[in-house]
Structure 1
């Protein structure tokens, strides 16, 4: 029994890829530390965005930025930082917004936002979107199962809860085991 659990644990750990890796995109590693830092930096200004949302953007940002650059509407880190600062000041006020620090992951999210907006504003926006989607679809993308699965919708879907995990609030009575009755 213990040996089976050890083997199963080893197999599950193998699915997760390299320790500390949230995703690998065409050989480029997005670490769990990078994801955590980016999420923490953006959480005060992007209410409701989860770790899967941030990971999805970190996965797809290079493709959006590349297509935007090729279409003549490329963005740079300074513009991305300016966008993040502007959103932070609007969300938190000048003092708190200016005090926030943004690292490379957060700046990548800013670049993605600017690139996506620029691509949508193009005269041939549909062709640009198809180019972007095609590049993402052709990429070798592996997501650590702990974070979910990268879908055809270009997002990271949260992992499904294993059947043995009882949901918050419990299960409905139809699947519950009946209470044993005492024998007389």
Structure 2
């Protein structure tokens, strides 16, 4: 009986270790093709770019980071590149024109700025329809894991979709009590 308990305990410990190995590290917001985005990274990008974005929510910024990763891959496929230096100049110019103090820009902010600049250059390519199809395929192929706290990755749109727990009921959709 005692040996059986030991085997069960060891088995449970192995399962727990395997499951823990698959889970993202604490404080991880998302992993995009093996690149980790932490809470601190997301906070910094949100703070830096917030004054320039229409939607500076953390979910929107996380979506921009995912889509920017896909955009940079698209640029590589089409031999179009925007340097981090050019992206930093772009962000510093935006900050100056907005009356915001320019800082040293984080990697995430530079990635989003590079994508913004890259988008203009990719739009100049002769076959925009094929480029759009390539972008959609890259989004679909990205390996994205998102903390449930932020939602779920939709590979069809490249967006992080907020999840609504099943225990939250929309009062307008609730059936009246009898």
**TM-score, with normalisation over the residues of structure 2?**
0.75
Q: Mapping of 1:55-134 within 5 angstroms?
A: 55-90=62-97, 92-93=98-99, 97-134=100-137
CA distance in 2 between counterparts of 1:88 and 1:16 reads: 38
Q: Is the 8 A contact 1:16 1:145 kept in 2?
A: no
Instruction: Provide, for residues 50-73 of structure 1, a one-character-per-residue CA deviation record: whole Å limited to 9, x for no partner.
Output: 211211121232331132133232
CA distance in 2 between counterparts of 1:119 and 1:43 reads: 25
Q: Is the 8 A contact 2:139 2:157 kept in 1?
A: no
**TM-score, with normalisation over the residues of structure 1?**
0.73
Correspondent of 1:154 among 127, 138, 158:
158
CA distance in 1 between counterparts of 2:88 and 2:166 reads: 43
Alignment partner, residue 27 of structure 2 = 20
Alignment partner, residue 181 of structure 1 = none
- Unmatched segments (≥5 aa) in structure 1: 1-9, 179-184
Q: Is the 8 A contact 1:22 1:147 kept in 2?
A: yes
CA distance in 1 between counterparts of 2:148 and 2:157 reads: 17
Alignment partner, residue 30 of structure 1 = 37
Q: Is the 8 A contact 2:95 2:102 kept in 1?
A: no
Shift of 1:35: 0.9
Q: Is the 8 A contact 1:136 1:154 kept in 2?
A: yes
- Unmatched segments (≥5 aa) in structure 2: 1-15
Distance 1:70 1:140, change over 3 A: closer
Q: Mapping of 1:3-18 within 5 angstroms?
A: 17-18=24-25
Q: Is the 8 A contact 2:50 2:56 kept in 1?
A: yes
